[in-house]
Every structure is written in structure tokens, then in C-alpha cells.
Amino acid sequence: QVQLAESGGGLAQAGGSLRLSCTASGRTDIISAVAWFRQTPGKEREFVAAIPWSGGSALYADSVKGRFTIARDGAKMLVSLEMNSLKPADTAVYYCAARAYLPIRQLAADYNFWGQGTQVTVSS
């Protein structure tokens, strides 16, 4: 099993920045990709960004492209999400997710392990 722990959520003003971190533990040897998703009440979980665990090109949702940056630190078993130029529409619970063995994807159903989530609130 893989355990994921998110940190770094909180409150920001529109135009501001926040940095989320996701630390993996357990069977990290089976991780092939790590992604961030977000969810607001009454809506489905939405893809934000993903990165291959061994390095390589990241994927981004169009809504965050150019504003958010996902990065990995293999030595620390950590994936970060740097969020800049935040908008009120970015307000959500953000979840870190890990996929085992298979290539990077954008669908929540393709990810095997999930963190508990961290709240991000952007005020106007």
C-alpha cells in the first residue's frame, strides 16, 4: 500500500500563491505517477496536474496551465503543486493521488491511492 499526506492548503487572496505538498510512504516502488485533483461540493473530482514518478513531462488541466506547476523530489518522496495567480474558482479541496505501475493519466478512476485532501480557499 501507498500512503499519501498532503499539506500546505489554506487561505489566499485572488492573485496570490500557495504551495501544496504531497509526501508518499509505504510501497513507493510501485508508484508510476502522482497527480493532484480538486473537488468542490456537488461536483466530481477534477484533474489539476500530474507528473510521472520517475520524471518526465507533466500534464496540466487547461484551467491551471501557466499558473500551476507540479514538481517531484524523488529523494524526499514528495510532489509539490505551486499555485500562482490564484482565482476564486480555484477554491476546492485538493487531493494528491498515486497511480501504480501504469502510465500517467488524467482520470481519477485510474489512480489507486489517495490522500485525505487539503482545503484551498481563494478570496476575491
pLDDT in tens, 8-17: 999 999 999 9
Give the three-state DSSP class for 29: helix
Q: Which residues of the chain are modeled with pLDDT < 50?
A: none
pLDDT at 27: 96
Amino acid of residue 34? V
Strand ranges for 1-124 from DSSP E: 2-7, 10-13, 18-26, 31-39, 46-52, 59-60, 68-73, 78-83, 92-100, 113-114, 118-123
Q: How many CB atoms lie within 10 A of CB 45?
A: 19
Distance, in Å, from the CA atom of 90 to the CA atom of 83, rounded to the nearest integer, reads 9
pLDDT at 120: 98
pLDDT at 3: 98
pLDDT at 55: 84
Give the three-state DSSP class for 84: coil
pLDDT at 121: 98
Distance, in Å, from the CA atom of 123 to the CA atom of 104, rounded to the nearest integer, reads 32
